[in-house]
Protein backbone atom coordinates (compact mmCIF):
# COMPACT_ATOMS: atom_id res chain seq x y z
CA UNK A 1 0.00 0.00 0.00
CA UNK A 2 2.87 2.25 0.76
CA UNK A 3 4.07 2.15 -2.84
CA UNK A 4 0.54 2.27 -4.20
CA UNK A 5 -0.20 5.50 -2.42
CA UNK A 6 3.01 7.10 -3.59
CA UNK A 7 2.28 6.03 -7.14
CA UNK A 8 -1.15 7.59 -6.91
CA UNK A 9 -0.11 11.05 -5.99
CA UNK A 10 2.77 11.41 -3.51
CA UNK A 11 3.23 15.06 -2.65
CA UNK A 12 0.58 16.07 -5.14
CA UNK A 13 -2.23 14.18 -3.43
CA UNK A 14 -5.61 15.67 -4.15
CA UNK A 15 -7.50 16.90 -1.13
CA UNK A 16 -10.44 14.57 -1.40
CA UNK A 17 -13.16 13.58 0.98
CA UNK A 18 -13.07 9.98 2.12
CA UNK A 19 -16.44 8.22 2.24
CA UNK A 20 -17.57 7.60 5.77
CA UNK A 21 -19.67 4.51 5.25
CA UNK A 22 -18.49 1.17 4.03
CA UNK A 23 -20.79 -1.19 2.21
CA UNK A 24 -20.79 -4.31 4.36
CA UNK A 25 -22.54 -7.10 2.53
CA UNK A 26 -23.25 -10.73 2.87
CA UNK A 27 -20.49 -12.50 1.05
CA UNK A 28 -20.54 -15.26 -1.52
CA UNK A 29 -17.66 -17.57 -2.37
CA UNK A 30 -17.31 -15.82 -5.71
CA UNK A 31 -17.09 -12.30 -4.31
CA UNK A 32 -14.80 -13.44 -1.50
CA UNK A 33 -12.36 -14.91 -3.99
CA UNK A 34 -12.46 -11.79 -6.12
CA UNK A 35 -12.09 -9.54 -3.11
CA UNK A 36 -9.07 -11.43 -1.84
CA UNK A 37 -7.33 -11.15 -5.18
CA UNK A 38 -8.23 -7.46 -5.37
CA UNK A 39 -6.98 -6.74 -1.88
CA UNK A 40 -3.91 -8.97 -1.93
CA UNK A 41 -1.47 -6.92 -3.94
CA UNK A 42 -1.54 -3.42 -2.48
CA UNK A 43 -1.79 -4.32 1.21
CA UNK A 44 0.88 -5.62 3.58
CA UNK A 45 0.42 -8.98 5.23
CA UNK A 46 -2.38 -8.89 7.77
CA UNK A 47 -4.11 -11.33 10.03
CA UNK A 48 -6.68 -13.56 8.39
CA UNK A 49 -10.00 -11.83 7.79
CA UNK A 50 -12.71 -12.61 10.29
CA UNK A 51 -15.33 -15.13 9.24
CA UNK A 52 -18.40 -15.54 11.36
CA UNK A 53 -19.30 -18.94 12.70
CA UNK A 54 -22.21 -20.86 11.22
CA UNK A 55 -25.57 -19.29 11.99
CA UNK A 56 -24.14 -15.83 12.55
CA UNK A 57 -24.23 -13.01 10.07
CA UNK A 58 -21.12 -13.07 7.98
CA UNK A 59 -18.93 -10.06 7.30
CA UNK A 60 -15.78 -10.32 5.26
CA UNK A 61 -13.49 -7.31 5.37
CA UNK A 62 -12.02 -8.15 2.01
CA UNK A 63 -15.47 -8.09 0.45
CA UNK A 64 -16.05 -4.67 1.91
CA UNK A 65 -12.74 -3.50 0.46
CA UNK A 66 -13.52 -5.04 -2.89
CA UNK A 67 -17.01 -3.61 -3.02
CA UNK A 68 -15.58 -0.20 -2.21
CA UNK A 69 -12.74 -0.56 -4.66
CA UNK A 70 -14.93 -1.23 -7.62
CA UNK A 71 -16.99 1.86 -6.79
CA UNK A 72 -13.95 4.11 -6.93
CA UNK A 73 -12.07 5.32 -9.92
CA UNK A 74 -8.73 3.49 -10.21
CA UNK A 75 -6.80 6.68 -9.50
CA UNK A 76 -8.10 7.04 -5.97
CA UNK A 77 -9.05 3.50 -5.08
CA UNK A 78 -6.09 2.67 -2.82
CA UNK A 79 -6.25 5.98 -1.00
CA UNK A 80 -9.93 5.52 -0.28
CA UNK A 81 -9.48 1.98 0.97
CA UNK A 82 -6.54 2.83 3.15
CA UNK A 83 -8.42 5.33 5.28
CA UNK A 84 -11.83 3.91 6.10
CA UNK A 85 -14.05 5.73 8.53
CA UNK A 86 -16.52 3.05 9.64
CA UNK A 87 -20.13 3.63 10.49
CA UNK A 88 -22.24 0.87 11.91
CA UNK A 89 -23.23 -1.17 14.94
CA UNK A 90 -20.82 -4.02 15.56
CA UNK A 91 -20.61 -7.01 17.82
CA UNK A 92 -17.74 -9.46 18.14
CA UNK A 93 -16.57 -12.22 20.42
CA UNK A 94 -14.47 -9.65 22.32
CA UNK A 95 -14.34 -5.88 22.59
CA UNK A 96 -11.07 -4.62 24.12
CA UNK A 97 -11.64 -1.01 25.26
CA UNK A 98 -8.18 -0.90 26.94
CA UNK A 99 -9.48 1.76 29.35
CA UNK A 100 -11.56 -0.93 31.02
CA UNK A 101 -11.63 -4.72 31.18
CA UNK A 102 -12.34 -6.61 27.95
CA UNK A 103 -15.99 -7.25 27.18
CA UNK A 104 -17.04 -10.72 26.02
CA UNK A 105 -19.86 -10.25 23.54
CA UNK A 106 -21.22 -6.75 23.86
CA UNK A 107 -21.50 -4.26 21.03
CA UNK A 108 -20.53 -0.78 19.94
CA UNK A 109 -21.94 1.76 17.56
CA UNK A 110 -19.67 3.95 15.47
CA UNK A 111 -20.82 6.98 13.50
CA UNK A 112 -18.27 8.43 11.08
CA UNK A 113 -15.43 7.15 13.19
CA UNK A 114 -16.84 8.26 16.55
CA UNK A 115 -17.94 5.72 19.15
CA UNK A 116 -21.47 6.72 20.19
CA UNK A 117 -22.42 3.60 22.17
CA UNK A 118 -20.50 0.82 23.91
CA UNK A 119 -22.49 -1.79 25.78
CA UNK A 120 -21.92 -5.14 27.44
CA UNK A 121 -25.55 -6.15 26.91
CA UNK A 122 -27.01 -8.37 24.18
CA UNK A 123 -26.49 -6.84 20.73
CA UNK A 124 -29.43 -5.12 19.03
CA UNK A 125 -30.98 -6.80 16.03
CA UNK A 126 -29.35 -4.62 13.39
CA UNK A 127 -25.84 -5.39 14.64
CA UNK A 128 -23.12 -6.48 12.23
CA UNK A 129 -21.56 -9.58 13.73
CA UNK A 130 -17.82 -9.60 13.16
CA UNK A 131 -17.57 -13.13 14.50
CA UNK A 132 -14.57 -14.67 16.23
CA UNK A 133 -12.44 -11.56 16.55
CA UNK A 134 -11.38 -9.05 19.15
CA UNK A 135 -12.00 -5.38 18.33
CA UNK A 136 -9.31 -2.96 19.54
CA UNK A 137 -8.64 0.79 19.31
CA UNK A 138 -6.19 2.17 16.73
CA UNK A 139 -2.52 2.33 17.68
CA UNK A 140 -0.58 5.37 18.88
CA UNK A 141 2.98 6.01 17.73
CA UNK A 142 4.35 8.64 20.10
CA UNK A 143 7.65 9.32 18.37
CA UNK A 144 8.57 9.57 14.71
CA UNK A 145 10.64 11.64 12.32
CA UNK A 146 8.65 11.09 9.12
CA UNK A 147 11.18 12.98 7.01
CA UNK A 148 13.25 9.77 6.92
CA UNK A 149 10.39 7.56 5.73
CA UNK A 150 11.94 7.19 2.28
CA UNK A 151 14.99 5.41 3.68
CA UNK A 152 15.08 1.74 2.65
CA UNK A 153 17.12 0.79 5.71
CA UNK A 154 18.54 2.45 8.84
CA UNK A 155 21.58 4.69 8.63
CA UNK A 156 24.77 3.38 10.19
CA UNK A 157 25.38 -0.07 11.62
CA UNK A 158 23.57 -1.86 14.47
CA UNK A 159 25.41 -1.34 17.72
CA UNK A 160 27.06 1.86 16.58
CA UNK A 161 27.45 4.68 19.09
CA UNK A 162 24.83 7.43 19.03
CA UNK A 163 27.31 10.31 18.41
CA UNK A 164 28.62 8.64 15.26
CA UNK A 165 25.05 7.95 14.10
CA UNK A 166 24.11 11.61 14.67
CA UNK A 167 27.09 12.62 12.53
CA UNK A 168 25.88 10.20 9.83
CA UNK A 169 22.42 11.77 9.88
CA UNK A 170 23.90 15.25 9.59
CA UNK A 171 26.04 14.13 6.64
CA UNK A 172 22.95 12.55 5.06
CA UNK A 173 21.15 15.89 5.30
CA UNK A 174 24.14 17.86 4.02
CA UNK A 175 24.43 15.56 1.01
CA UNK A 176 20.85 16.45 0.09
CA UNK A 177 21.28 20.15 0.85
CA UNK A 178 22.98 20.80 -2.48
CA UNK A 179 19.58 20.81 -4.20
CA UNK A 180 17.39 23.89 -4.35
CA UNK A 181 15.20 24.66 -1.32
CA UNK A 182 12.06 23.76 -3.25
CA UNK A 183 13.47 20.38 -4.27
CA UNK A 184 14.55 19.69 -0.68
CA UNK A 185 11.12 20.67 0.62
CA UNK A 186 9.33 18.52 -1.95
CA UNK A 187 11.53 15.49 -1.25
CA UNK A 188 10.95 15.83 2.47
CA UNK A 189 7.21 16.27 1.97
CA UNK A 190 7.05 13.14 -0.17
CA UNK A 191 8.83 11.17 2.55
CA UNK A 192 6.44 12.49 5.21
CA UNK A 193 3.42 11.59 3.09
CA UNK A 194 4.85 8.10 2.57
CA UNK A 195 5.39 7.78 6.33
CA UNK A 196 1.77 8.79 6.98
CA UNK A 197 0.56 6.16 4.52
CA UNK A 198 2.79 3.48 6.03
CA UNK A 199 1.58 4.37 9.52
CA UNK A 200 -2.08 4.29 8.55
CA UNK A 201 -1.68 0.89 6.89
CA UNK A 202 -0.04 -0.36 10.09
CA UNK A 203 -3.10 0.54 12.17
CA UNK A 204 -1.73 3.78 13.64
CA UNK A 205 -4.31 6.53 14.20
CA UNK A 206 -2.25 9.02 16.23
CA UNK A 207 1.35 10.12 15.68
CA UNK A 208 3.78 12.21 17.69
CA UNK A 209 6.01 13.70 14.99
CA UNK A 210 9.20 15.71 15.38
CA UNK A 211 8.74 18.26 12.61
CA UNK A 212 12.02 19.42 11.13
CA UNK A 213 11.18 22.52 9.11
CA UNK A 214 10.15 22.89 6.34
CA UNK A 215 7.51 20.26 7.04
CA UNK A 216 4.30 19.50 5.12
CA UNK A 217 2.34 22.37 3.65
CA UNK A 218 -1.30 22.95 2.81
CA UNK A 219 -3.16 20.34 0.79
CA UNK A 220 -0.44 17.72 1.17
CA UNK A 221 -0.81 17.83 4.96
CA UNK A 222 -4.59 17.72 4.78
CA UNK A 223 -4.59 14.81 2.37
CA UNK A 224 -1.91 12.87 4.23
CA UNK A 225 -3.94 12.88 7.41
CA UNK A 226 -7.37 12.71 5.72
CA UNK A 227 -10.00 11.48 8.15
CA UNK A 228 -8.24 8.89 10.20
CA UNK A 229 -4.67 9.93 11.04
CA UNK A 230 -4.08 12.57 13.69
CA UNK A 231 -0.62 14.12 14.12
CA UNK A 232 0.88 16.16 16.93
CA UNK A 233 3.72 17.94 15.14
CA UNK A 234 6.45 19.11 17.51
CA UNK A 235 8.40 21.89 15.82
CA UNK A 236 12.07 21.07 16.27
CA UNK A 237 14.48 23.64 17.67
CA UNK A 238 18.18 23.24 18.36
CA UNK A 239 21.37 25.19 18.78
CA UNK A 240 24.11 25.52 21.37
CA UNK A 241 25.13 28.91 20.06
CA UNK A 242 22.69 31.78 20.45
CA UNK A 243 22.56 32.61 16.72
CA UNK A 244 21.56 29.07 15.74
CA UNK A 245 19.20 28.75 18.69
CA UNK A 246 17.51 32.05 17.78
CA UNK A 247 17.18 30.99 14.16
CA UNK A 248 15.51 27.63 14.84
CA UNK A 249 13.33 29.03 17.62
CA UNK A 250 12.04 31.83 15.39
CA UNK A 251 11.36 29.42 12.55
CA UNK A 252 9.37 27.18 14.90
CA UNK A 253 7.50 30.18 16.26
CA UNK A 254 6.58 31.44 12.81
CA UNK A 255 5.50 28.02 11.59
CA UNK A 256 3.30 27.27 14.57
CA UNK A 257 1.69 30.71 14.66
CA UNK A 258 0.99 30.80 10.93
CA UNK A 259 -0.27 27.23 10.78
CA UNK A 260 -2.55 27.72 13.76
CA UNK A 261 -3.93 31.06 12.67
CA UNK A 262 -4.58 29.97 9.10
CA UNK A 263 -5.51 26.41 10.01
CA UNK A 264 -3.52 25.68 6.89
CA UNK A 265 -2.60 22.11 7.77
CA UNK A 266 -6.11 20.81 8.33
CA UNK A 267 -7.95 19.82 11.46
CA UNK A 268 -6.02 16.62 12.11
CA UNK A 269 -2.67 18.28 12.80
CA UNK A 270 -1.87 20.17 15.98
CA UNK A 271 1.37 21.49 17.38
CA UNK A 272 4.00 21.42 20.05
CA UNK A 273 7.65 22.34 20.60
CA UNK A 274 10.65 20.04 20.53
CA UNK A 275 13.95 21.26 21.91
CA UNK A 276 15.98 18.51 20.25
CA UNK A 277 18.38 17.03 22.84
CA UNK A 278 20.80 18.18 25.54
CA UNK A 279 23.82 17.65 23.29
CA UNK A 280 22.39 19.93 20.58
CA UNK A 281 20.24 22.42 22.47
CA UNK A 282 21.18 25.03 25.04
CA UNK A 283 19.32 25.14 28.33
CA UNK A 284 18.28 28.68 27.47
CA UNK A 285 16.57 27.40 24.34
CA UNK A 286 14.87 24.66 26.36
CA UNK A 287 13.52 27.36 28.69
CA UNK A 288 12.23 29.44 25.78
CA UNK A 289 10.36 26.44 24.37
CA UNK A 290 8.91 25.65 27.79
CA UNK A 291 7.75 29.26 28.18
CA UNK A 292 5.99 29.22 24.83
CA UNK A 293 4.46 25.83 25.58
CA UNK A 294 3.08 27.27 28.83
CA UNK A 295 1.84 30.41 27.11
CA UNK A 296 -0.07 28.59 24.38
CA UNK A 297 -0.85 25.38 26.34
CA UNK A 298 1.11 23.24 23.90
CA UNK A 299 2.91 19.95 24.52
CA UNK A 300 6.66 19.55 24.39
CA UNK A 301 8.91 16.62 23.42
CA UNK A 302 12.64 16.23 23.98
CA UNK A 303 15.15 13.43 23.46
CA UNK A 304 16.72 12.86 26.87
CA UNK A 305 18.93 10.35 28.68
CA UNK A 306 19.34 8.55 25.39
CA UNK A 307 22.99 7.45 25.53
CA UNK A 308 25.94 7.10 27.90
CA UNK A 309 27.83 9.56 25.71
CA UNK A 310 25.14 12.20 26.35
CA UNK A 311 25.53 11.72 30.11
CA UNK A 312 29.30 12.00 29.79
CA UNK A 313 28.98 15.26 27.88
CA UNK A 314 26.59 16.73 30.43
CA UNK A 315 28.60 15.58 33.43
CA UNK A 316 32.16 16.05 32.18
CA UNK A 317 32.03 18.21 29.05
CA UNK A 318 34.02 15.70 27.03
CA UNK A 319 33.78 12.41 25.15
CA UNK A 320 32.52 11.31 21.69
CA UNK A 321 29.71 13.86 21.53
CA UNK A 322 32.19 16.69 22.05
CA UNK A 323 34.32 15.30 19.22
CA UNK A 324 31.33 15.12 16.88
CA UNK A 325 30.20 18.63 17.79
CA UNK A 326 33.71 19.96 17.19
CA UNK A 327 33.93 18.19 13.82
CA UNK A 328 30.60 19.74 12.79
CA UNK A 329 31.69 23.20 13.96
CA UNK A 330 28.86 23.24 16.50
CA UNK A 331 30.87 23.04 19.73
CA UNK A 332 30.13 25.72 22.32
CA UNK A 333 32.75 25.68 25.04
CA UNK A 334 30.68 27.19 27.85
CA UNK A 335 27.68 24.91 27.29
CA UNK A 336 29.20 21.87 29.06
CA UNK A 337 29.43 20.42 31.61
CA UNK A 338 25.87 21.21 32.69
CA UNK A 339 25.35 21.22 36.45
CA UNK A 340 22.51 18.87 37.30
CA UNK A 341 22.63 17.10 33.94
CA UNK A 342 19.50 15.14 32.98
CA UNK A 343 17.86 15.82 36.36
CA UNK A 344 18.08 19.59 35.87
CA UNK A 345 16.65 19.26 32.38
CA UNK A 346 13.73 17.22 33.69
CA UNK A 347 12.93 19.92 36.27
CA UNK A 348 12.81 22.60 33.59
CA UNK A 349 10.69 20.44 31.27
CA UNK A 350 8.27 19.72 34.12
CA UNK A 351 7.03 23.33 33.87
CA UNK A 352 5.45 22.59 30.50
CA UNK A 353 1.76 21.68 30.50
CA UNK A 354 2.62 18.36 28.87
CA UNK A 355 5.99 16.80 28.12
CA UNK A 356 7.21 13.68 26.37
CA UNK A 357 10.63 12.51 27.53
CA UNK A 358 11.78 10.61 24.45
CA UNK A 359 13.88 7.47 25.06
CA UNK A 360 14.96 7.86 28.70
CA UNK A 361 17.22 4.83 28.22
CA UNK A 362 19.55 5.85 31.05
CA UNK A 363 17.18 7.43 33.58
CA UNK A 364 18.30 6.91 37.16
CA UNK A 365 16.04 5.74 39.98
CA UNK A 366 15.89 9.29 41.37
CA UNK A 367 14.86 10.67 38.00
CA UNK A 368 12.20 7.96 37.61
CA UNK A 369 10.91 8.79 41.09
CA UNK A 370 10.70 12.45 40.08
CA UNK A 371 8.83 11.60 36.87
CA UNK A 372 6.33 9.54 38.86
CA UNK A 373 5.34 12.74 40.70
CA UNK A 374 4.74 14.61 37.42
CA UNK A 375 1.57 13.28 35.74
CA UNK A 376 1.98 15.78 32.90
CA UNK A 377 5.19 14.01 31.91
CA UNK A 378 5.49 10.71 30.04
CA UNK A 379 8.39 8.62 28.85
CA UNK A 380 8.45 7.31 25.29
CA UNK A 381 10.12 3.95 24.70
CA UNK A 382 11.28 3.16 21.16
CA UNK A 383 12.03 -0.58 21.49
CA UNK A 384 13.54 -1.50 18.13
CA UNK A 385 15.56 1.71 17.95
CA UNK A 386 16.79 0.92 21.45
CA UNK A 387 17.82 -2.51 20.17
CA UNK A 388 19.44 -1.03 17.05
CA UNK A 389 21.87 0.96 19.19
CA UNK A 390 22.30 -1.97 21.58
CA UNK A 391 21.81 0.20 24.63
CA UNK A 392 21.79 -1.16 28.15
CA UNK A 393 18.53 -2.96 29.09
CA UNK A 394 15.63 -0.53 29.08
CA UNK A 395 14.30 0.48 32.55
CA UNK A 396 10.73 -0.45 31.58
CA UNK A 397 9.87 -2.43 34.70
CA UNK A 398 11.25 0.31 36.95
CA UNK A 399 9.23 2.98 35.11
CA UNK A 400 5.99 1.00 35.25
CA UNK A 401 6.46 -0.02 38.89
CA UNK A 402 7.06 3.62 39.80
CA UNK A 403 3.83 4.60 38.04
CA UNK A 404 5.36 6.56 35.17
CA UNK A 405 3.22 6.68 32.03
CA UNK A 406 5.07 5.02 29.16
CA UNK A 407 4.15 5.29 25.48
CA UNK A 408 5.68 3.55 22.48
CA UNK A 409 7.37 5.00 19.42
CA UNK A 410 9.00 3.65 16.31
CA UNK A 411 11.42 6.56 16.02
CA UNK A 412 12.35 6.96 12.34
CA UNK A 413 13.44 4.73 9.50
CA UNK A 414 16.93 6.12 10.12
CA UNK A 415 17.16 3.73 13.10
CA UNK A 416 14.33 1.28 12.45
CA UNK A 417 13.43 -0.78 9.37
CA UNK A 418 9.79 0.38 9.29
CA UNK A 419 7.07 2.34 11.08
CA UNK A 420 4.97 -0.63 12.20
CA UNK A 421 4.01 0.15 15.78
CA UNK A 422 2.75 -3.39 16.40
CA UNK A 423 6.26 -4.66 15.74
CA UNK A 424 7.35 -2.56 18.73
CA UNK A 425 4.70 -4.34 20.80
CA UNK A 426 5.95 -7.73 19.61
CA UNK A 427 9.54 -6.73 20.35
CA UNK A 428 8.70 -5.73 23.93
CA UNK A 429 6.75 -8.94 24.52
CA UNK A 430 9.64 -10.98 23.17
CA UNK A 431 12.40 -9.21 25.11
CA UNK A 432 10.78 -8.05 28.39
CA UNK A 433 8.81 -11.06 29.62
CA UNK A 434 8.18 -9.46 33.03
CA UNK A 435 5.79 -6.94 31.45
CA UNK A 436 2.19 -8.05 30.90
CA UNK A 437 0.47 -8.07 27.52
CA UNK A 438 -2.14 -5.71 28.97
CA UNK A 439 0.52 -3.16 29.93
CA UNK A 440 2.18 -3.27 26.53
CA UNK A 441 -1.19 -2.85 24.80
CA UNK A 442 -1.84 0.21 26.99
CA UNK A 443 1.55 1.62 26.01
CA UNK A 444 0.59 1.18 22.35
CA UNK A 445 -2.83 2.80 22.74
CA UNK A 446 -4.25 4.39 25.89
CA UNK A 447 -1.08 5.65 27.55
CA UNK A 448 0.38 6.88 24.28
CA UNK A 449 -2.77 8.88 23.57
CA UNK A 450 -2.73 10.35 27.09
CA UNK A 451 0.97 11.21 26.71
CA UNK A 452 0.04 13.23 23.62
CA UNK A 453 -2.98 14.78 25.33
CA UNK A 454 -5.49 13.11 23.00
CA UNK A 455 -7.94 11.52 25.40
CA UNK A 456 -10.34 10.57 22.60
CA UNK A 457 -7.79 8.24 20.99
CA UNK A 458 -6.30 4.95 22.10
CA UNK A 459 -9.46 3.54 23.73
CA UNK A 460 -12.91 2.25 22.96
CA UNK A 461 -15.14 4.66 24.85
CA UNK A 462 -18.21 6.72 24.08
CA UNK A 463 -17.07 9.96 22.48
CA UNK A 464 -13.71 8.58 21.34
CA UNK A 465 -12.54 8.49 17.72
CA UNK A 466 -9.96 5.72 18.05
CA UNK A 467 -10.07 3.90 14.71
CA UNK A 468 -10.76 0.19 15.00
CA UNK A 469 -8.87 -2.96 14.18
CA UNK A 470 -9.46 -6.62 14.71
CA UNK A 471 -7.53 -9.77 15.40
CA UNK A 472 -8.89 -13.29 15.07
CA UNK A 473 -9.57 -15.15 18.31
CA UNK A 474 -11.93 -17.78 19.65
CA UNK A 475 -10.78 -17.11 23.24
CA UNK A 476 -13.28 -18.14 25.87
CA UNK A 477 -11.69 -16.22 28.76
CA UNK A 478 -9.38 -13.26 29.35
CA UNK A 479 -6.28 -15.41 29.70
CA UNK A 480 -6.81 -16.84 26.23
CA UNK A 481 -7.65 -13.37 24.91
CA UNK A 482 -4.39 -11.83 26.14
CA UNK A 483 -2.53 -14.75 24.62
CA UNK A 484 -4.26 -14.15 21.28
CA UNK A 485 -3.30 -10.47 21.42
CA UNK A 486 0.29 -11.44 22.19
CA UNK A 487 0.26 -13.76 19.17
CA UNK A 488 -1.24 -11.21 16.77
CA UNK A 489 1.08 -10.60 13.85
CA UNK A 490 -0.34 -7.33 12.51
CA UNK A 491 -3.37 -5.08 12.91
CA UNK A 492 -6.25 -5.76 10.53
CA UNK A 493 -8.01 -2.37 10.27
CA UNK A 494 -11.79 -2.62 10.45
CA UNK A 495 -13.19 -0.95 7.43
ZN1 LIG B 1 13.89 10.80 17.74
Q: Residue 407 belongs to a domain with what CATH number?
A: 3.20.20.140
Do 113 and 214 have their domain in common? no
Is residue 458 situated within a structural domain? no
Per the model's pLDDT, the better-predicted residue between 98 and 171 turns out to be: 98
Give the least confident one: 6-15, 410-419, 433-442.
6-15
Per-residue pLDDT at 227: 61
210 Cα–ligand 1 center, Å: 7
417 Cα–ligand 1 center, Å: 14
167 Cα–ligand 1 center, Å: 14
283 Cα–ligand 1 center, Å: 19
Is residue 461 situated within a structural domain? no
Do 254 and 402 have their domain in common? yes
277 Cα–ligand 1 center, Å: 9
Is residue 177 situated within a structural domain? yes
Do 148 and 107 have their domain in common? no
Do 130 and 149 have their domain in common? no
Do 196 and 157 have their domain in common? yes
161 Cα–ligand 1 center, Å: 15
Dist CA 249 CA 232 (whole Å): 18
Per-residue pLDDT at 85: 57
Is residue 457 situated within a structural domain? no
452 Cα–ligand 1 center, Å: 15
290 Cα–ligand 1 center, Å: 19
Do 157 and 113 have their domain in common? no
Mean pLDDT of 46-64: 31
232 Cα–ligand 1 center, Å: 14
Do 128 and 145 have their domain in common? no
411 Cα–ligand 1 center, Å: 5
Model pLDDT for residues 339-376, shown as the tens digit of each residue: 899 999 999 999 999 999 999 999 999 999 999 999 99
412 Cα–ligand 1 center, Å: 7
Q: Which residues of 335-362 are buried (b: 16+ CB within 10 A; e: fewer)?
A: bbebeebbeebbebbbebbbbbbbbbbb
Q: How far is CA 476 from the centre of its chain?
A: 31
152 Cα–ligand 1 center, Å: 18
**How long a stretch of residues is the chain?**
495
Distance (Å) of CA 474 to CA 93, 259, 425, 485: 7, 47, 21, 11
Is residue 451 pLDDT above 50, yes or no? yes
Is residue 456 situated within a structural domain? no
Per-residue pLDDT at 40: 33
Do 410 and 435 have their domain in common? yes
Do 42 and 159 have their domain in common? no
194 Cα–ligand 1 center, Å: 18
Model pLDDT for residues 85-126, shown as the tens digit of each residue: 578 999 999 999 999 999 999 999 999 889 999 999 999 988
Provide the CB-side half-sphere exposure for 378 (13 A, CA).
25
322 Cα–ligand 1 center, Å: 20
209 Cα–ligand 1 center, Å: 9
Is residue 52 situated within a structural domain? yes
Q: How confident is the model at residue 415 (pLDDT cuts 50, 70, 90)?
A: very high
**Which range marks the domain in which residue 473 is found?**
2-136+468-493
Q: How confident is the model at residue 423 (pLDDT cuts 50, 70, 90)?
A: very high
Which residues, other chains included, contact 339 with Cβ-Cβ below 8 Å and sequence gap of 6+? none
Give the least confident one: 26-35, 289-298, 345-354, 448-457.
26-35
138 Cα–ligand 1 center, Å: 22
276 Cα–ligand 1 center, Å: 8
Model pLDDT for residues 68-91, shown as the tens digit of each residue: 332 332 322 222 233 355 789 999
Dist CA 199 CA 252 (whole Å): 25
The continuous run of DSSP H or E covering 385 comes out as helix 383-388
Give the least confident one: 59-68, 100-109, 256-265, 268-277.
59-68
Mark residue 247 as left, alpha or beta (left: phi above 0; alpha: psi -120 to 50; beta: remaining). Answer: alpha
Closest by CA position to 423, among listed 440, 435, 402:
440
Per-residue pLDDT at 495: 63
Do 49 and 169 have their domain in common? no
Mean pLDDT of 187-208: 93
221 Cα–ligand 1 center, Å: 21
The continuous run of DSSP H or E covering 233 comes out as strand 230-237
Is residue 5 pLDDT above 70, yes or no? no
Per the model's pLDDT, the better-predicted residue between 411 and 224 turns out to be: 411
Do 418 and 309 have their domain in common? yes
389 Cα–ligand 1 center, Å: 13
Per-residue pLDDT at 13: 22
423 Cα–ligand 1 center, Å: 17
Per-residue pLDDT at 186: 87
Per-residue pLDDT at 220: 80
Do 95 and 18 have their domain in common? yes
- 359 touches 306 (CB < 8 A): yes
Per-residue pLDDT at 23: 27
327 Cα–ligand 1 center, Å: 22
Across the chain, mean pLDDT equals: 83
Mean pLDDT of 166-183: 86
Is residue 460 situated within a structural domain? no
Per the model's pLDDT, the better-predicted residue between 45 and 231 turns out to be: 231
484 Cα–ligand 1 center, Å: 31
339 Cα–ligand 1 center, Å: 24
303 Cα–ligand 1 center, Å: 6
- 199 touches 226 (CB < 8 A): no
207 Cα–ligand 1 center, Å: 13
Dist CA 4 CA 81 (whole Å): 11
Is residue 48 pLDDT above 90, yes or no? no
Give the least confident one: 26-35, 98-107, 273-282, 326-335.
26-35
Dist CA 106 CA 29 (whole Å): 29
175 Cα–ligand 1 center, Å: 20
Per the model's pLDDT, the better-predicted residue between 32 and 376 turns out to be: 376
284 Cα–ligand 1 center, Å: 21
Per mean pLDDT, which of 176-180, 217-221, 265-269, 405-409 is the most reliable? 405-409
Domain count of the fold of the chain:
2
Is residue 198 pLDDT above 70, yes or no? yes
Mean pLDDT of 136-164: 95
437 Cα–ligand 1 center, Å: 25
Q: Is the overall model pTM greater than 0.85, yes or no?
A: no
Amino acid sequence: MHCAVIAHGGYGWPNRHVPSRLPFRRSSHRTVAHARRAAAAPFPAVAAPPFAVAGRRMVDRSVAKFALAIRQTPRYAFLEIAMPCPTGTFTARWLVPVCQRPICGGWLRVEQGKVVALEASSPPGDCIDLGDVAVLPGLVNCHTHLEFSDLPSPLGEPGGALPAWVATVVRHRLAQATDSPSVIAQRRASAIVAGCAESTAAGVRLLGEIATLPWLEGDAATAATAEELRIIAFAETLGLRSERANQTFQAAEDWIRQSMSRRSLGRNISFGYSPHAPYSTSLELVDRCVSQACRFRLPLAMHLAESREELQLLDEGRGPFREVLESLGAWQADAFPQPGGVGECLKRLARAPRCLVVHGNYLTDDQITFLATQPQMSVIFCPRTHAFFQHDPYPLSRLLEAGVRVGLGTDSRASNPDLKLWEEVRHVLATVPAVTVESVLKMATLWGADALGQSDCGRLAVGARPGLWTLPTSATDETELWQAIANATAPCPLG
